[in-house]
Amino acid sequence: MRAWEVVEPGPIEDGPLRLVERPAPEPGPGELLVRVRACGVCRTDLHVAEGDLPVRKPRVTPGHEVVGEVAGLGPGAAGFAEGDRVGVAWLRHTDGTCRYCRRGAENLCPASRYTGWDADGGYAEYTTVPAAFAYRLPAEIGDVALAPLLCAGIIGHHALRRASLPPGGRLGLYGFGGSAHLCAQVALAEGATVHVLTRGDAARELALSLGAASARDAYDAPPEPLDAAILFAPAGELVPVALQALDRGGVLAVAGIHLSDVPPLNYERDLFYERELRTVTSNTREDGREFLALAARHDVRATTRTYPLESAQEALQDLKAGRFPGAAVLTTD
């Protein structure tokens, strides 16, 4: 099969990935073999390729927004049959026994492992997934539109809940890529007023077309104080900017797995009046199931640009440069 691997992490412009031929993987105990139909291109993949996230598996195959079909079952795998359409997402393993798992916060499990970081992911024609971490997918959404929902959508949903937006509240979204444009659709469907603060005319146009009340540059002030905000851009310098845009009692959730350094915060200017700063770490499987149900109910759809599998490195370069609104998706057909 064809598969991409991270040969030597570094700037994506220098070509840290290589397309290789390798045997299709064998599903282990409890695992599914999945023939990849589509795989979303996530900013986390860029962090893996460029080395922002430390190497976990040498020459790993990135990709964790996988839509595919079951092509084989390992010993003891249950709940799926060959030919079933399944989703493979970021969270791949938790121990199920630690105090975090027992209290329903498996995203904080110290033994957690991740697709496309600890194990080979979906920038390939085949991948594997533990059956217990595979998702059943809504039939009414196509492969390409569905792929970004499996990380960008789920993480955006988790970030929205972490931001504690009150009913009918005013939400600010800093950055408007794959995750934010899906999060915005859920927030709007639930009655929020959404203000988008982001670079790029195309992203701002997309925000307005989806129903945002305003779309301005990331460093501009929104037209009204915010009850909650989510920082999707991996830019630590935006943390004080977003905090200052919050109304009293507002919450800022930082949704990225990697963030550049945050400048010093001024207590009176940035945090006083019970403003809160929260982080977002992965998601639980329940987050994923809840979001996929919401996406089907509210007709949440990803705006996508497709690339053939062999153009994965180009897709990551375009993602880094902000050359498209929405999300990129690799296809294997």
> What phi and psi, each to the nearest 5 degrees, are found at residue 238?
-85, -10
Q: What percent of the chain has pLDDT over 70?
A: 100
- Residue in this structure with the two tokens 């589509």, named with its chain if needed: 38
Looking at residue 139, its pLDDT comes to: 87
* pLDDT bucket at 98, cuts 50 / 70 / 90: very high
Tally the C-alpha atoms within 13 A of residue 268's C-alpha that lie toward its C-beta: 0
* pLDDT bucket at 87, cuts 50 / 70 / 90: very high
* Closest of 175, 158, 134, 180 to residue 282, by C-alpha: 158
pLDDT, tens only, 196-226: 999 999 999 999 999 999 999 999 999 999 9
Mean pLDDT of the chain: 96
pLDDT, tens only, 156-172: 999 999 999 999 999 99
What is the arithmetic mean of pLDDT over 4-22? 97
Rounded (10°) angle between helices 201-210 and 178-189: 20
Query: Long-range contacts of range 235-238, CB-CB < 8 Å, 24 or more positions apart?
Result: 235/175, 235/259, 235/260, 236/260, 236/261, 236/262, 236/263, 237/262, 237/263, 238/174
pLDDT, tens only, 34-72: 999 999 999 999 999 999 999 999 999 999 999 999 999
pLDDT, tens only, 116-147: 999 999 999 999 999 999 999 988 899 999 99
- Written as one letter, the residue type at 177 is G
- Domains in the chain with CATH codes: 2-148+283-292+300-331 (3.90.180.10), 154-279 (3.40.50.720)
Looking at residue 262, its pLDDT comes to: 97
